[in-house]
A and B are shown apart, each in its own frame.
Chain A
Amino acid sequence: MNNFQYSRASDVADAIRLLIADPGAKLIAGGTNLIDLMKEDVERPTRLIDISRLPLRDIEETADGGLRIGALVPNSDLAYHPLIEQRYPLLASAILAGASAQLRNMASVGGNLMQRTRCAYFYDTTTPCNKRSPGTGCSALDGLNRNHAILGSSKSCIATNPSDMSVALAALGALVHIAGSTGARTVALTDFHRLPDDKPHLDTILGRGEIITAIELPPLGLARNYSYLKIRDRLSYAFALVSVAAALELEGNAIGEARLALGGVAHKPWRSLEAEAALRGQAATPDHFGHAADLLLQGAVAHSHNGFKIELARRAIVRTLMQATSATPQSQAHKKVA
């Protein structure tokens, strides 16, 4: 690790002030990703601003019947919160599919959104990487890219966003509340993470001196017909090759609302309003699910080692929608895929 200064923020305004005063400063809450990247010399902050004691740990009901989740709520507390288990089980399931119990105890909700790609070249400081060192090139394009993106990538970067939680938040239509020196703003979770284009060093739309203060869930929880299916190389404590968050509102076998998002396939959680629209008003059948999968995967591009992910994703989408239809969500403990 490089040496750095340490400050403890007294409130959100103080954190913003400290961020603006030192361009090399970074916020730290759980630290599960940042400390690791500092040990690898990938992140070299001049100052860490400790926000872990700020009062952003509440989970409150909003006036419209949704929930507002403080940015510092630990991932495990969120997944096991009674209101999340009852109203937003898709989110609980996705969180419990990620990391380990220890890391979920440490990691904050805001930090989960800020975690960086696990692309091996991003971690390896001896190789070119546009995300780590802009302008040096992308080693994954012609390198080992079995785990890399099939959607939305660019010639600059084919890295994926590693979060499970974000995939469920995308499907649920969550909002991100942000504070900054010029005031507060709110963006959709699906607009929070960027596609790489020619600036892959920017993971999110967060500007300098901005801080996530809360995540907001809209009232519609889709708590009956949902599933989160994560496909990976080992059954626990591994990042997704492909993951699917699916939720439906069903009247008999007819689909009302439909939500569908993919993880492990792009620089951000991948959601297609067109694919969801194609499901509404249709019968919940494998054929219709396959059509929606094709729409969601439109434009998918294979690199030298990850072509299998396109068909894997298609099958996982259909399987997850079938699990949602039968109200038998994928268990994150009992690993058999029904």
Chain B
Amino acid sequence: MSDATHELPERIPIRLVVNGIGHELDLMPWTTLLDALRDHLELTGTKKGCDHGQCGACTVLIDGRRVNSCLTLAVMKDGAEITTIEGLAKNGALHPLQQAFIDHDAFQCGYCTPGQICSATGLLAEGHARDADEIRELMSGNLCRCGAYPNIVAAIQQAMGQS
């Protein structure tokens, strides 16, 4: 904030549809989608890990595609439909990937889990992963410091109908 010669910009009005619910927000241009979700909409299921696009904990779906919300400016997504971990369960029933993560004990501390599950949701929609090697490769943007990778792969295979 050392640029005293630059006037502060005005807040920018945007609309985000998050988990099916429309929200009107007035945000500074540098507010990331991650901070908008956590700090403005109090949806803290999406996690801030590295905040630099290296860990995947902040993964959400924008118009059905998985992205790193920490590297996304909220104002650039005016009008977009966002799905976070809070939006995956339907009518009280867990999403098949949420159930599969429980069935396979696919987490230890759980901090990376919302990002893992949102990322895996995107992976299933993309339809490019056919076996365990391809799942591992296409999930490489999600780190798990507890090392639950074998069970994460097994959970995703279950959701793909492979086990």
Binding site for B on A (CB under 8 A): 1-6, 28, 31-32, 35-36, 38-40, 44, 46, 48, 50, 52, 76, 80, 99-103, 105-106, 236-237, 332-335
Q: In the complex, what's the smallest C-beta–C-beta distance from A333 to chain B, in angstroms?
A: 4
* Closest partner residue, chain A, to B135 (CB atom): A333
B141 touches A46 (CB 8 A): no
Does A102 contact B67, Cβ atoms closer than 8 Å? yes
Determine which of B8, B52, B73, B134 lies in contact with A333 in the assembled complex, contact meaning CB atoms within 8 Å: B134
Partner of B71 from the list A32, A40, A52 (CB cut-off 8 Å) is: A32
A sample of 14 more A-B contacts (CB under 8 A), given A6-B73, A101-B139, A105-B67, is A3-B6, A3-B9, A31-B71, A32-B53, A32-B71, A39-B52, A50-B76, A100-B56, A101-B66, A102-B68, A105-B65, A106-B67, A332-B137, A333-B134
- Cα distance A50–B77 in the bound complex, in angstroms: 11
Q: Is the CB of B30 within 8 A of A3?
A: yes
The residues in B between 75 and 107 inclusive whose CB is less than 8 angstroms from any CB of A are: 75-76
Residue pair B51, A39 in contact (C-beta under 8 Å)? yes
Of the A-B pairs whose beta carbons lie under 8 Å apart in the complex, a sample of 8, sorted by A's number, is: A4-B29, A36-B52, A38-B30, A100-B56, A100-B142, A103-B68, A237-B141, A332-B137
Q: Which of B3, B51, B72, B141: most chain A CB closer than 10 A?
A: B141
B1 in contact (CB, < 8 A): yes
Residue in B closest to A100 when the chains form the complex, CB atoms: B141
Task: Please report B residues at the A interface, Cβ cutoff 8 Å.
Answer: 1-3, 6, 8-9, 12, 28-30, 32, 51-53, 56, 59, 65-68, 71-73, 75-76, 119, 122-123, 126, 128, 133-134, 136-142
In this complex, what residue of A is CB-closest to B8?
A: A3
Find chain B residues with CB under 8 A from A106 CB: 67-68, 71-72
Taken together as a complex, chains A and B put the C-alpha atoms of A335 and B65 apart, in Å, by 26
Query: Across the interface, do B30 and A1 meet the contact criterion of CB distance under 8 Å?
Result: yes
Residues of B within 8 A of A103 (CB): 53, 68, 71, 141
**Are the CB atoms of B2 and A2 closer together than 8 Å?**
yes
CA distance A35 to B68 in the complex (A): 11
Main secondary structure of the interface of A (DSSP, over half): loop
Give the CA-CA distance A36 to B51 in the complex, in Å.
8
A237 to B65, CA, bound (A): 19
Do the beta carbons of B53 and A2 come within 8 Å of each other? no
Given A31-B76, A50-B76: A102 in contact with B128 (beta carbons within 8 A): no
> Of all chain A residues, which has the CB nearest B2?
A2
Contacts of B3 in A (CB 8 A): 2-3, 44, 46
- The docked-state distance in angstroms from the alpha carbon of A326 to that of B23 is 56
Shortest beta-carbon distance from A103 to chain B in Å: 6
| Residues of chain B with a CB closer than 8 A to A40's CB | 52
Smallest beta-carbon distance B157→chain A, Å: 15
Q: Which residues of A contact B29 (CB under 8 A)?
A: 4-6, 48
A203–B22 CA distance with the chains assembled, in angstroms: 42
Residues of B contacting A6 with CB < 8 Å? Answer: 9, 12, 29, 73, 75
Give the residue name and chain of the B residue nearest to A236 (CB).
B140
In the assembled complex, the CB of A114 is this many whole angstroms from the nearest CB of chain B, namely 15
Contact between A35 and B32, CB atoms less than 8 A apart: yes
**Given known A-B contacts A1-B30, A6-B12, A32-B68, A334 and B73 have beta carbons under 8 A apart:** no
**Chain A contacts for B53, CB-based, 8 A:** 32, 35-36, 102-103
CA distance A44 to B37 in the complex (A): 25
